[in-house]
Structure 1
């Protein structure tokens, strides 16, 4: 049936570009806001193509003959038997969510379609504990953060509806998807079939289905939501309690990477002290052991922090539960009691990137707050971070002093001034990256002078010698102070090496 459905979807241009052209930009924007009327008006006279939009994107009930014409060569009763449609005396409606999907970074990719459960079931509740999410904000953020270099083998742990595999198909040759939910794998197989992909699908928890195997790249959008050790919804709850899902994957993924292989996942961590990095750093200790005899590069990026009340309310609403309802109140009490007993005062959320290095390469572990606005895809920045980290690891401090460095034109210097009797007096200077994550580094006046000389002409050692001479400083002491700062600036793309 699914092969026939693909024929119908292609014929009627039920694709991202086709739907956009059919309904227009204004109706598309309204639909993104949850307003369906403009799109419905736009497709009134659009025939079979309009019927597909109304059926699958607007949730309308349609006459059987309209649906039959739109889905031909698929029979309506066949689609009902497959679980795609429901039929009653009022007409035909979608029983599953089916929508076109695309990756702006892969303009030449064939059309994709994602199958999932309807966002909410009748009455506003998600269907059941094995509800399969579609392309939500979290899954799309992971797709935008994924490194897209060509690899031979890629594993998606907890594939859900399969959306990460779709994006990975543009750069990975052999694709493997796992999930503990049999229903999720059934739906993912349809997503892959509709999108023309051959994917190895394996059932089982966590990494058990791929025991003993290694991959060039691993991605995962796991059930990372910290909460009590219960499983009310498989897509959200791991049943491990707290941030156990994130801890388990971070600790075990390196053992399943080839040398040079990269794993990326969404993760959450409980914050129980002033140092939010405490728990992720503890997991990375286990991860380093799993990477042995290789080393481990790790970059933990915190993108958001929520207080317990906001955290609980967000995920109750995500499951279709009103936090103010009697059921919501009871669930909120249970969750908040659990978090309070665990000493949690906030929950962090972000990305974890892991790379298994060669045995003779000392790994680099960095935990950073990246809560500033960042609209660009994070994937290219993570890819560049991995390259810069490898470049730095290959150079001792002495070797780094022999490099010629350049401040890119995407970096600016901001100065803070205060008014005095003698006029404006400088009090601070900040180096700012104008692109990507817009990293910021405070620098003193010696740093400003050093960076002003980083034009790619003289080695860093010579610049520091001149700076020491001009300011009456010891050159060796100045170098010891400068090298760690230079490493941070290189790692953040604010200094680059000249070949």
Structure 2
């Protein structure tokens, strides 16, 4: 049946671009807000393609004969038996979520179709334990953060309905997806078959299905939501309690990477002190042991922080539970009691990138807060961070002094001034990157003077010697103070080398 369905979907133009054209920008925006009437009006005269949009995107029931015409050569009865549709009193409606999907960053991808369970909301039904998510915000954010360089082997841990495999199909030659849920793997098989993508799918928890194997790249959108040690919903709960899922994967993934291999995952961490990095850093110590005899580069980026009440309310609504209902009240009490018992005052969320390096390469571990607005895909920035980190590893200690730094055109200097009786008085100078994550670094006047000379002509050593001479400073002491700052600027793309 699924082969016939792919034929029908392609023939009817049930694609991202065609659906967008039929709906128009106003109806698309309304649909994103959960308002279906403008979209319904827009496709009223769109024929069979409009029938598919009403059926699968708007959740409408349509007459059986209209569904049969739009889905031909698929038999409606067969689709009902397969669980794709439900049939009641001659009206057919979707029993599963089926929608077109795409990625402009994947060359020659064609059209993808993603099969998952229907979305839930507090006004309707609650998600089942085995509920399979589709193209949700978390999965799309991971796809946008994924490094897209060509690799031979790729592993997707917790593949769900196969969204990450689709997005990685443009740069990975052989792909493997694992999941503990047989239902999720069934969805993934259909998603990949409809989309013309080939991958190995294996059942089992965590990394057990690929024990003893190594991969050039690993991606994972795991059940990372911190909560009590039980599984109410497989897509969200690990059963490990707290941030156990993130701890497990961060600690073990390097042992499944080839030398130079990169792992990327979404993660959450419990914040129990003033230092949000405390828990991720303990996981990275275990990760370094897993990478041995190789080294480990690690970049932990915190993208959001939520207080316990916001965290609990968000994930209850995500599962279709109204926090104000009797069920929601009981669940909220249980979750908040658990978090309070763990001493949690906030929950952090973000991305973890791990690279297994050669044994003779000193690893780099960086934890950074990136809660500022950042609409660009994070993937290119992660790629660049890995390159810059590798470059710094090749230039340890004083060897950096012999390189020729340049401040790129995407970096600007901001000066902060306050009014005084004598006029404006400068209180701060900040180096700002104008693209990507828009990193900011405060710099003193010596730093401003040094960076003004970084045009790619003179070695850093000569620039520091001139600066020391002009300001009556010891050149060696100035270099010792400047090198850590220079390395930070390199990692953030605010200094480059010719």
Q: What TM-score does the superposition give when structure 1 sets the normalisation length?
A: 0.99
Is the contact made by 1:119 and 1:126 (CA closer than 8 Å) also made in structure 2?
Answer: no
Identify the residue that residue 444 of structure 1 maps to in structure 2.
Answer: 444
Query: Mapping of 1:484-499 within 5 angstroms?
Result: 484-498=484-498
Deviations 1:141-167 (A, max 9, x none): 000000000000100000011100000
Question: Whole-Å Cα distance in 2 between the matches of residues 402 and 338 of structure 1?
Answer: 54
Is the contact made by 1:61 and 1:90 (CA closer than 8 Å) also made in structure 2?
Answer: no
User: Which consecutive residues of structure 2, in runs of 5 or more, have no partner in the other structure?
Assistant: none
State yes or no: 1:241 paired with 2:251.
no
Is the contact made by 2:433 and 2:440 (CA closer than 8 Å) also made in structure 1?
Answer: yes
Identify the residue that residue 378 of structure 1 maps to in structure 2.
Answer: 378
Question: Whole-Å Cα distance in 1 between the matches of residues 126 and 290 of structure 2?
Answer: 37
Identify the residue that residue 313 of structure 2 maps to in structure 1.
Answer: 313
Q: Do the aligned partners of residues 121 and 77 (structure 1) sit closer, same or farther apart at CA in structure 2, a change above 3 Å counting?
A: farther
Identify the residue that residue 166 of structure 1 maps to in structure 2.
Answer: 166
Is the contact made by 1:8 and 1:72 (CA closer than 8 Å) also made in structure 2?
Answer: yes
Is the contact made by 2:40 and 2:58 (CA closer than 8 Å) also made in structure 1?
Answer: yes
Identify the residue that residue 69 of structure 1 maps to in structure 2.
Answer: 69
Query: Mapping of 1:50-449 within 5 angstroms?
Result: 50-89=50-89, 91-106=91-106, 108-120=108-120, 124-449=124-449
Please state whether the residue corresponding to 1:302 is helix, strand or coil. Answer: strand
Farther-moved stretch of structure 1 (437-446 vs 123-132):
123-132
Please state whether the residue corresponding to 2:62 is helix, strand or coil. Answer: coil
Q: Do the aligned partners of residues 122 and 378 (structure 1) sit closer, same or farther apart at CA in structure 2, a change above 3 Å counting?
A: closer
After TM superposition, give the deviation of residue 121 of structure 1 in Å.
8.1
Question: Whole-Å Cα distance in 2 between the matches of residues 227 and 72 of structure 1?
Answer: 46
Is the contact made by 1:433 and 1:494 (CA closer than 8 Å) also made in structure 2?
Answer: yes
Deviations 1:410-466 (A, max 9, x none): 000000112223321211100000000000000000000000000001000000000
Identify the residue that residue 44 of structure 1 maps to in structure 2.
Answer: 44
Farther-moved stretch of structure 1 (390-399 vs 296-305):
390-399
Question: Whole-Å Cα distance in 1 between the matches of residues 88 and 471 of structure 2?
Answer: 85
After TM superposition, give the deviation of residue 126 of structure 1 in Å.
3.2
Deviations 1:229-272 (A, max 9, x none): 01000000000000000000000000000000000000000000
Deviations 1:99-128 (A, max 9, x none): 000112235321000000000289623341
Question: Whole-Å Cα distance in 1 between the matches of residues 422 and 98 of structure 2?
Answer: 69
Question: Whole-Å Cα distance in 2 between the matches of residues 497 and 349 of structure 1?
Answer: 33
Deviations 1:314-337 (A, max 9, x none): 000111111111111111001000
Question: Whole-Å Cα distance in 1 between the matches of residues 398 and 107 of structure 2?
Answer: 45
Question: Whole-Å Cα distance in 1 between the matches of residues 42 and 124 of structure 2?
Answer: 27
Large movers: runs of 4+ above 4 Å: none
Is the contact made by 2:219 and 2:264 (CA closer than 8 Å) also made in structure 1?
Answer: yes
Deviations 1:13-33 (A, max 9, x none): 100001111121211111111
Q: What TM-score does the superposition give when structure 2 sets the normalisation length?
A: 0.99
State yes or no: 1:31 paired with 2:28.
no
Question: Whole-Å Cα distance in 1 between the matches of residues 172 and 414 of structure 2?
Answer: 42
Deviations 1:386-433 (A, max 9, x none): 000000011122110000000000000000112223321211100000
Number of matched pairs? 498
Question: Whole-Å Cα distance in 1 between the matches of residues 481 and 121 of structure 2?
Answer: 61
Please state whether the residue corresponding to 2:131 is helix, strand or coil. Answer: coil
Farther-moved stretch of structure 1 (115-124 vs 427-436):
115-124
User: Which consecutive residues of structure 1, in runs of 5 or more, have no partner in the other structure?
Assistant: none
Farther-moved stretch of structure 1 (1-10 vs 122-131):
122-131
Q: Do the aligned partners of residues 20 and 170 (structure 1) sit closer, same or farther apart at CA in structure 2, a change above 3 Å counting?
A: same
Question: Whole-Å Cα distance in 2 between the matches of residues 95 and 396 of structure 1?
Answer: 59
